[in-house]
Amino acid sequence: MSGSQSSITRPGMTRRGLLAAFAATTVAAAPHYANAFSLFRNAGDIRRIKMYSGRTGESLDTIYWIEGKYLPEALREIAYFMRDWRNDRAIGIDTRAIDIMAAAHRLLDVSEPYMLLSGYRSPQTNAMLRSRSRNVAQNSLHLKGEAADLRLRSRSVAQMSRAASALSAGGVGRYSGSDFVHMDCGPVRTWGV
């Protein structure tokens, strides 16, 4: 699910019981997947992401990867949550971006969810934001479902950006004045103050 342009509908919540059962049996299991972030090693064979949106009032706490496989229903749930809230459009979120966010969150050792400021952006929303700020890229990775702008109350922008940069897995932008960190799965690079 690497930024596909399919429309996403609001998913059901029927898999939660199943995930709880899987999580109970897999948390202590030794991981066996290749090319995972070293941070996920020793975390059991699951990956989880926790976020909330002040814009929509929605929360997300989902296991999206179990025993070497991404869970399609969880990825749809993430894509819907990270939709462009201004026009309710959603696309698939690149799993590499989700992994970067989850690994940085784990490295920060916090229990609070990320506050999602911006996930997917439609071309119309990106153009509107670009007209208001010179910090919005014309070909933003938000347009492809490959980026997120995130905040944590308990961690500073500097702490969050150091954690994301330590992964050497994508772009990390520090926006100290606006109190958020941009994380993406594009080329490895850093910017901002």
Query: Is there a contact between 61 and 48 (Cβ–Cβ < 8 Å)?
Result: yes
150, part of any domain: yes
pLDDT tens digit string along 130-174?
889 888 888 899 999 999 999 999 999 999 999 999 999 999 999
pTM over 0.85: no
41, part of any domain: yes
Query: Is there a contact between 192 and 173 (Cβ–Cβ < 8 Å)?
Result: yes
pLDDT at 135: 81
- Backbone conformation region of residue 96, classed left if phi is above 0, alpha if psi is from -120 to 50, else beta: alpha
10, part of any domain: no
- The CA-CA-CA angle for residues 105, 142, 155, to 5°, reads 25
CATH value at residue 23? 3.30.1380.10
The number of domains in the chain is: 1
- Backbone conformation region of residue 6, classed left if phi is above 0, alpha if psi is from -120 to 50, else beta: beta
8, part of any domain: no
Distance CA 178, CA 174 (A): 9
Distance CA 19, CA 128 (A): 39
pLDDT tens digit string along 114-137?
999 999 999 999 999 888 988 888
1, part of any domain: no
Structural tokens at position 105: 């969150």
Query: Is there a contact between 157 and 180 (Cβ–Cβ < 8 Å)?
Result: yes
Widest pairwise Cα distance in the chain: 50
Residue scoring higher pLDDT (40 or 151): 151
- Backbone conformation region of residue 180, classed left if phi is above 0, alpha if psi is from -120 to 50, else beta: beta
**Structural domain containing residue 123:** 16-192
186 pLDDT higher than 90: yes
169, part of any domain: yes
pLDDT tens digit string along 49-101?
999 998 999 999 999 999 899 999 999 999 999 999 999 999 999 999 999 99
Distance CA 112, CA 123 (A): 31
Q: Please report the beta strands in 119-188, taking only residues with DSSP state E, as ranges in sequence order.
A: 147-151, 171-175, 180-184
3, part of any domain: no
